[in-house]
Amino acid sequence: MASTEVQTVGSTADKLKLAAAVAVGLAALVAFYMLSKQGALAQWGALLAGLALAVVVFLTSDTGKQFVAFGQDAVREVKKVVWPERKEAMQVTAYVFVFVFVMALFLWLTDKTLEWVFYDLILGWKK
């Protein structure tokens, strides 16, 4: 049985940073709606500034730092991937299309055969 790691927020300072990030994000949403009479520029400016501040606060927490490290590791792994050449990609795509066509034809023939057996032979219903 595979075990999974559960990571929780550890320190009080980290919990406060995450709570502050959520609070700033919510405050940005409230400001967006409260500034409706000030115009769209004020609304969107407050929203974007608040969300940017929330992201900055989140990224200073341990969870945010782990998130950034995860993203960097993912980019590093994607760079290691050996991508197929155009010819190979086209051949594999053609194989997939042929397989799908053959499978569709098989399922259609199976359906029509079962329809003929049940409706014409067994039940005697003619179309």
Say if 58 falls within a structural domain: yes
Assess contact for 85 and 48: CB atoms under 8 A.
no
* Structural domains of the chain, count: 2
Q: 90 and 75 in one domain?
A: no
Q: Kindly report, residue by residue over 79-116, the tens digit of the pLDDT.
A: 999 989 999 999 999 999 999 999 999 999 999 999 99
Say if 43 falls within a structural domain: yes
Q: 61 and 107 in one domain?
A: no
Q: Kindly report, residue by residue over 10-66, the tens digit of the pLDDT.
A: 688 889 999 999 999 999 999 999 999 999 999 999 999 999 999 999 999 999 999
Predicted confidence at residue 7, as pLDDT, reads: 61
Q: Rounded to whole angstroms, how far apart are CA atoms 16 and 53? A: 15
Q: 70 and 25 in one domain?
A: yes
The dihedral sign for the CA sequence 8, 10, 16, 18: negative
Assess contact for 2 and 16: CB atoms under 8 A.
no
| Domain extent at residue 32 | 10-81
Choose among 62, 46, 53, 59: nearest CA to 12. 62
Q: 57 and 43 in one domain?
A: yes
Name the DSSP class of 61.
S
Q: Rounded to whole angstroms, how far apart are CA atoms 18 and 64? A: 9
Q: How confident is the model at residue 6 (pLDDT cuts 50, 70, 90)?
A: low
Q: 36 and 88 in one domain?
A: no
Q: 67 and 21 in one domain?
A: yes
Say if 5 falls within a structural domain: no
The total number of residues shown for the chain amounts to 127
Residue with structure tokens 């590791």?
73
Q: 20 and 31 in one domain?
A: yes
